[in-house]
Structure 1
Amino acid sequence: MPTDIPALLGAGLLLLLIFYLGFLSIKIKFPNVILFILLGIGLTKLMDDSELLHFASEIGIVLLFFLLGLEFNISRLGGIAKRILPAGLLDVVLSLGVTTGIALLFGLSLYLSFLIGGIAYATSSSITAKLLDDRGRMANRETEFMLAILIFEDLFAPLIVAILIGIHSGEEVTGYMFLILFGKIVGLALLAILLGKTLFKRFESFLDRIDDEEFKIALLIGIALAYGGLALYLGLSEVLGAFLAGMMLAEVGKIEKIDQTVFPVRDLMLPLFFVYFGTTIKLGDGVPMAWMLAVVVLWSVISKVLVGVWGGPMFGLSKRASLRGGLSLCARGEFSVVIASVATGTMKVFSGLFIVAAAFIGMLLFEQASNVTNKIYGKPEKKKKRLKVPGN
């Protein structure tokens, strides 16, 4: 008998496990994302460095943000960009700057301290967006603020990665490097705007002429993957590229046609991202620098809550919506994993433990965000509908 499990058998068993955990999460009322990540951690030795799983997970995360981008046309995104800048900079100071300072106080070098600050900086775009969708909170007042923060972080995080990789490889980090990176981001966004205003201006009528659903799936997913892949080719985040691809097609107007086509593929592939995410976390033996780990995890939660509480009003939110938004931004994820890949030895184990702890605590806080907000500010009053009486 062959010792290696055929890829087809492995894929079938993995999908059955995902089904079981999804079904279990409904029964026990527990976030399915946490169960998928735990499954990935449990399968680390079996599926470590699986290219097939990695590729499938990339498709899932790209389609998630492609569909999110559809909700933001160019004019809406431009208005949000102006309003999110103060809160975005506050996020950089609290999550990156203060965390770096905490690590310095524990005696780490400036490089290692900045590494920990980078790992603690970015909220998990995938986990947060998935939970917003699962819990039906896309229409909430704070959701636009949260998505704007996620996109701001996805624009800023590549700068952190560039600095760390540059120092790690011995290269000199220069202003020219930052200028090139900034130029790539601006160029990718401008190209999306140009294509949205020209090539995709009459895309709706073109879609209506495609009767075969299979060809329509190939076209839409091809656009999402191609633009996400272009972002990766430029050294940026595929999440950013996918979001911009969705923004291009948001000019179509009736996005329901696109949603209906892409949703089933996204729902199939997205759980694989969280399983893959779990396989990338190396826990090791023991808890290195336990006290610092506890402090950094605690501050990682406090910093995001403060970003919501202080940054939300800057964006125009009420105190209630701001607190709910801050409590929902605490999960760390994919960018933390990317930055942690630069770490070695004990620091890699430390990073893995932090990511697991911050992801789980963040997801649990997301689930309880509305309850905590109601306990502090009271339950919101339901507006009474006035019934119009004929003749009055």
Structure 2
Amino acid sequence: MHQTTTLLIELGVVILALGLLSRLAGRIGFSPIPLYLLAGLAFGRGGIRPLGASEGFVATGAEVGVVLLLLLLGLEYSASELLSSLRAQSPSGAVDFLLNALPGAAAGLLLGWGAVACVALAGVTWVSSSGVIAKVLADLGRLGAEETPAVLGVLVIEDLAMAGYLPLLTALQAGLSVRAGGLILLTSLGTVTAVLYVALRHGHVISRAVSSDNPERMLLVVLGLTLSFAGVAQELHVSAAVGAFLIGIALSDEVAEDARALLSPLRDLFAAVFFLFFGLSTDPASVPPVLGPALALAGVTVLTKVGTGWYAARRAGAAPAGRWRAGGTLVARGEFSIVIAGLAVGIEPRVGPLATAYVLVLVVLGPLAARWTEPLVRRVTRRRAVASVPAQAGPVRAAPAVEHADTR
């Protein structure tokens, strides 16, 4: 069979399978991410039948998927909203880092892995999945809830922190000197600061230049601009993902809304390819040995993320029920955890399987935690209150009887 024919057939089957998995996930009320990862494990290296003809396309599509995921996330915020979130939620961001990054770093040390793996695992456990959480908030009708601004504030700080973290991890992975690594970090932070300044002061000019009444023209201009800037950002060691995020922030108002509508289907397609590719690049036989550490790490960081959300919502003035809902909502990990693991596998191959197992666990638990954390806490609190009533009520009832006997 001709190579192009094989490519078309195999690619068509892959995309059709992803569509069926997405439909299945929608039927059972889960995120499709774990199903994409499992499909990748099944048909990757060491799987049932490794893909051959479409492997190169899937690898390129995975890169585009990361770029589009972060572009669409950036389109959700304006530069002014971003800065106000940073001011309001910076203490919550610091608590989030301490509670959730340190367990990952500690796990790397306990497993006897190197410094790069420890830094990578810190990032894997630190950053929640903005994509999964946004979908969960929409599905549960909580976009207007009192705790949601606190949740989004934490997510924004995490996403912006990646502008410094990813270049640092890249420098460590490349084995660069402290001077070279510091220069890369300064370059990346300078680039981020410059783009935020331009977006804040001149975002309307950029939006006007991109805007068009013709959907085709707008799609081509926004996509071309994003991919080009992501490539330049990668060359400057800022990371393509952060570059795409900054382009999303620079676009505002109606242009951002139109771009979201046009690019969302492309985002969904290439994001599915991205998660599939990560599964394809992971040997299924390497997952069982790290399943125990992954479950232990997931158990610890579920609690720490719940604590993070509770603290952030409390600072925002949310009621106790909203605080627990915020904590449960932040549990899911996803796209950034996989991106980080993908950067580190060249130094420590075991990071990939551990991250895959970890994300699989928490991307399934995340929607459940968002839905059930607050009702579970309420039920436990009610049971404790009921259980404590007889112990307190017994002496109170006995007292009048004693007094009555004495009066006789």
TM-based fold match above 0.5: yes
Larger Rg: 2
> Which piece of structure 1 moves more, 190-199 or 105-114?
105-114
Matches within 5 A, 1:1-392: 1=1, 6-45=6-45, 46-47=50-51, 50-104=55-109, 112-133=117-138, 137-157=142-162, 159-174=164-179, 175-200=182-207, 202=208, 207=212, 210=213, 212-250=214-252, 252-253=253-254, 255-285=256-286, 287-288=288-289, 292-340=293-341, 341-343=343-345, 348-349=349-350, 351-377=352-378
CA contact under 8 A between 1:65 and 1:242: conserved in structure 2?
yes
CA gap 1:322/1:245 in 2 versus in 1, 3 angstroms: farther
Aligned-pair CA distance for 1:17: 0.8
State how far apart, in whole Å, the 2-side matches of 1:323 and 1:375 are. Answer: 10
Aligned-pair CA distance for 1:160: 4.1
CA contact under 8 A between 2:337 and 2:359: conserved in structure 1?
no
CA gap 1:254/1:171 in 2 versus in 1, 3 angstroms: closer
Identity rate of aligned residues, in percent? Answer: 26
CA gap 1:335/1:27 in 2 versus in 1, 3 angstroms: closer
Counterpart code for 2:185: F
Counterpart code for 2:225: I
1:348 alignment partner, SS class: coil
Aligned-pair CA distance for 1:303: 1.9
Match of 1:386 in 2: none
Q: TM-score, normalised by structure 2?
A: 0.76
State how far apart, in whole Å, the 2-side matches of 1:316 and 1:238 are. Answer: 36
State how far apart, in whole Å, the 1-side matches of 2:70 and 2:114 are. Answer: 36
State how far apart, in whole Å, the 2-side matches of 1:300 and 1:253 are. Answer: 38
Counterpart code for 1:72: Y
State how far apart, in whole Å, the 2-side matches of 1:143 and 1:282 are. Answer: 38
CA gap 1:139/1:234 in 2 versus in 1, 3 angstroms: farther
State how far apart, in whole Å, the 1-side matches of 2:222 and 2:124 are. Answer: 33
1:123 alignment partner, SS class: coil
Aligned-pair CA distance for 1:109: 5.8
CA contact under 8 A between 1:167 and 1:173: conserved in structure 2?
no
CA contact under 8 A between 2:325 and 2:374: conserved in structure 1?
yes
CA gap 1:153/1:68 in 2 versus in 1, 3 angstroms: closer
State how far apart, in whole Å, the 2-side matches of 1:354 and 1:139 are. Answer: 32
State how far apart, in whole Å, the 1-side matches of 2:261 and 2:167 are. Answer: 38
The C-alpha deviation readout for 1:257-308, integer Å capped at 9, x for no partner, is 4443333333443322322232243443474466644432322222222211
Counterpart code for 1:327: G
The C-alpha deviation readout for 1:222-267, integer Å capped at 9, x for no partner, is 33433444433332243433333233221x3475444433333334
The C-alpha deviation readout for 1:14-41, integer Å capped at 9, x for no partner, is 1211222222223334432222221122
Aligned-pair CA distance for 1:373: 1.1
Counterpart code for 1:188: V
CA contact under 8 A between 1:282 and 1:349: conserved in structure 2?
no
Matched length: 371
> Which piece of structure 1 moves more, 101-110 or 360-369?
101-110
Aligned-pair CA distance for 1:374: 2.5
Larger helix fraction of residues: 2
State how far apart, in whole Å, the 2-side matches of 1:69 and 1:262 are. Answer: 12
Aligned-pair CA distance for 1:13: 0.8
The C-alpha deviation readout for 1:326-379, integer Å capped at 9, x for no partner, is 22223333433344343468x53354134323333343232342232123247x
The C-alpha deviation readout for 1:36-84, integer Å capped at 9, x for no partner, is 2211222223348933223334444433443343332232222111112
The C-alpha deviation readout for 1:197-234, integer Å capped at 9, x for no partner, is 4332x469x52xx3x43223212333343344443333
CA contact under 8 A between 2:71 and 2:245: conserved in structure 1?
yes
State how far apart, in whole Å, the 1-side matches of 2:270 and 2:172 are. Answer: 35
CA contact under 8 A between 1:161 and 1:339: conserved in structure 2?
yes
> Which piece of structure 1 moves more, 50-59 or 5-14?
50-59
Match of 1:383 in 2: none
How large is the Cα RMSD of the aligned pairs? 3.4
Counterpart code for 1:191: V
CA gap 1:286/1:17 in 2 versus in 1, 3 angstroms: closer
State how far apart, in whole Å, the 1-side matches of 2:71 and 2:7 are. Answer: 28
State how far apart, in whole Å, the 2-side matches of 1:255 and 1:181 are. Answer: 24
1:284 alignment partner, SS class: helix
State how far apart, in whole Å, the 2-side matches of 1:8 and 1:43 are. Answer: 17
Contiguous gaps of at least 5 residues in structure 1: 379-392
CA gap 1:169/1:25 in 2 versus in 1, 3 angstroms: closer
State how far apart, in whole Å, the 1-side matches of 2:375 and 2:154 are. Answer: 23
CA gap 1:342/1:270 in 2 versus in 1, 3 angstroms: closer
Counterpart code for 1:262: L
CA contact under 8 A between 1:282 and 1:348: conserved in structure 2?
no
> Which piece of structure 1 moves more, 61-70 or 306-315?
61-70
